[in-house]
Structure 1
Amino acid sequence: MASVQKRSTLKVWGDVIFAIFLREIKSQSTDKIGLTWSVISPLIMIGGMTAIRTFASGNGDTHGMPTMFFMVYGLILVQFFLMILNKSSAALQKNKPLYAFRQVQPISSILAISFFELLVKIFVVLTIVLICFVLKIDIYVHDAISVILNFFKVWLLGVSIGTVFGLAYCYIPELKKVQILLSRPLFFISGIFFSLQDIPREYWHYLDWNPLLHAVELTRYAAYPSYGHEGVSYFFLDMCVLVSVFFALACYHVSWKQAISR
């Protein structure tokens, strides 16, 4: 007589996340360049923006660090945040038919899609490293651990805010337009093209409320200490991440059942 193998709740949850993760990979691979384009598209934008900034600055140095990497860190972090925000906020509705199965919960969908986007961004970074190696461009990172932690904090920030928006869409679908309206300026006010050092100190308070700007500036500082970190702090970034994660989990715990039933 065949025995029934029992699985723990954690094992079931992990299997569900992995299954949705594979489903996401399959959905991105429906055409010949699906996954490849997910990596190539950010690289094209990074290359183009970096070339424009380098040409405009007239030299290869920006506040003590190479202009190329000044742009690369900013673009990768902001692109990463916006992509995670968009994908995680759409995850609830995207996999809604799967919630008919008792083992599948919305949080599994959010985590699976967010991990997929994290994996894509890792491949983008590795491709940039490979290109620099082929072109014999020196890569210098003073504090690699802080750089990695900052990327992880941006990921948590994007997932948390995306989860809140995703829950809100279930009640008010029109909020998608509000998210687009709010996220577009982030590309220009998060320090991709500028540093706080380029702006007079009396105007810093108009920008330093943005945790994404803190993440970008602190990552540049972690890679090149000569860049400096005036006007930004790890404490502010960490508090924003903790509050966002707590608020997102609280909203999810209170409303996920009502949200998916609408």
Structure 2
Amino acid sequence: MAFVQKRSTLKVWGDVIFAIFLREIKSQFNDKLGIAWSVVSPVLFILVLSFARGRLDGGQTHSIPTFIFMVYGMLLITFFIAIVPSISNSISKNKPLFAFRQVQPISGVIALAGFQLLMKIAVYIGIFSVCYFIHLDVKIDNLIRVILIFFEVWLISISIGLVLALASCYVPEVKKLQVLAMRPMFFISGVFFSLQDIPEEYWHYLNWNPFLHAVELTRYAAYPSYGNAGVSYFYLDMFTLCSIFFALACYCIGWKQAISR
């Protein structure tokens, strides 16, 4: 006699997320280099950029080793740039799966966001391993604060990606605007420069950007001598909460209509 095993809603939801997560791993790493290239590529990019910046300021940028200065900026912004397109395509990418009532758009969002998070953790480990082998002195004064800022950038990126995913179901041209909006992020988020390099009277043109706050505050949390002039933990925290609330509100209101279009 066969027995039918009943699963709770939470168990079903977890299985769906895990299945999408595994599918994403297989689709992303089906070449020979696989996951190694996702770690090696940003490390090489940061090495080239930090060498160029180091030639200008002698290897120290506002009391931080130039390589570490570039690492914090590059990893946070590339994290954002990787997550937003991935999440914004999650609904259209997984649309055939929505024929099954167990699968909802939020499952794909969580799976893709978790995948990107694990990817960046691997990149961080790779970069700090490089620092260890080249005998570069790495200092993190407030590790908890660095992790929290990294987590806040992750949440903001998911929120923006989710709103764009819903919007693109109604207006496909949103994806073209998204590409244009993402390009300047490297230049306005403090990746190559510090806010201290710019005259104070021009700060208000840049410090509306939460990612600039995240980059500068991460450097400050690692090296307190760097300073936190012009940036605010409160602004970053409030922007994170508001973006999560807005994204979840949009999802609750419009996800059924979005997948039916």
Please confirm whether the aligned pair reaches a TM-score higher than 0.5, indicating the same fold: yes
Q: Distance in 2 between matches of 1:141 and 1:23?
A: 35
Once the two structures are superposed, residues 176-228 of structure 1 have per-residue CA deviations (whole angstroms, 9 ceiling, x without a partner) of 11111111111100001111111111111000000000000000000000000
Q: Is the CA contact 2:217–2:231 (under 8 Å) kept in the aligned structure 1?
A: yes
Residue 49 of structure 2 aligns with which residue? 49
SS in 2 for 1:131: helix
Residue 66 of structure 2 aligns with which residue? 67
SS in 2 for 1:222: helix
Once the two structures are superposed, residues 88-144 of structure 1 have per-residue CA deviations (whole angstroms, 9 ceiling, x without a partner) of 111111111111111111011011011111111111000011111111222110000
Shift of 1:27: 0.7
| Residues 119-138 of structure 1 mapped to structure 2, 5 A cutoff | 119-138=118-137
| Residues 88-103 of structure 1 mapped to structure 2, 5 A cutoff | 88-103=87-102
Tell me the amino acid that sits aligned with residue 254 of structure 2: S
| Residues 114-153 of structure 1 mapped to structure 2, 5 A cutoff | 114-153=113-152
> What is the root-mean-square deviation of aligned Cα atoms in Å?
1.0
Q: Is the CA contact 2:46–2:67 (under 8 Å) kept in the aligned structure 1?
A: no
Q: Is the CA contact 2:210–2:236 (under 8 Å) kept in the aligned structure 1?
A: yes
Matched, 1:37 2:28: no
Tell me the amino acid that sits aligned with residue 42 of structure 1: P
Q: Distance in 1 between matches of 2:120 and 2:242?
A: 25
Residue 7 of structure 2 aligns with which residue? 7
Q: Distance in 2 between matches of 1:155 and 1:60?
A: 30
> Which segments of 5 or more consecutive residues in structure 1 lack a partner in the other structure?
none
Q: Distance in 1 between matches of 2:221 and 2:127?
A: 18
Q: Distance in 2 between matches of 1:137 and 1:67?
A: 11
Tell me the amino acid that sits aligned with residue 43 of structure 1: V
Residue 231 of structure 2 aligns with which residue? 232
Identity %: 62
Once the two structures are superposed, residues 44-85 of structure 1 have per-residue CA deviations (whole angstroms, 9 ceiling, x without a partner) of 21111111111122x121112111111110000011011111
Residue 113 of structure 1 aligns with which residue? 112
- Output the TM-score relative to the length of structure 1: 0.97
Residue 221 of structure 2 aligns with which residue? 222
Q: Distance in 1 between matches of 2:94 and 2:36?
A: 23
SS in 1 for 2:230: coil
Shift of 1:3: 2.7
Q: Distance in 1 between matches of 2:106 and 2:12?
A: 13
> Which segments of 5 or more consecutive residues in structure 2 lack a partner in the other structure?
none
User: Which range is displaced more, 129-138 or 111-120?
Assistant: 129-138
Q: Distance in 1 between matches of 2:249 and 2:127?
A: 38
Residue 183 of structure 1 aligns with which residue? 182
Runs of 4+ in 1 over 3 A off after TM superposition: none
Q: Distance in 2 between matches of 1:135 and 1:42?
A: 17
Residue 246 of structure 1 aligns with which residue? 245
Q: Distance in 1 between matches of 2:36 and 2:170?
A: 35
Shift of 1:151: 0.5
Q: Number of residue pairs matched? A: 261
Q: Distance in 1 between matches of 2:36 and 2:97?
A: 27
Shift of 1:35: 2.4
Q: Distance in 2 between matches of 1:246 and 1:204?
A: 28
Once the two structures are superposed, residues 151-190 of structure 1 have per-residue CA deviations (whole angstroms, 9 ceiling, x without a partner) of 0000000000000001111111111111111111111000
- Output the TM-score relative to the length of structure 2: 0.97
Shift of 1:37: 2.1
Residue 259 of structure 2 aligns with which residue? 260
Q: Is the CA contact 2:189–2:209 (under 8 Å) kept in the aligned structure 1?
A: yes
Once the two structures are superposed, residues 215-255 of structure 1 have per-residue CA deviations (whole angstroms, 9 ceiling, x without a partner) of 00000000000000011011000111111000000111111
Q: Distance in 2 between matches of 1:101 and 1:191?
A: 44
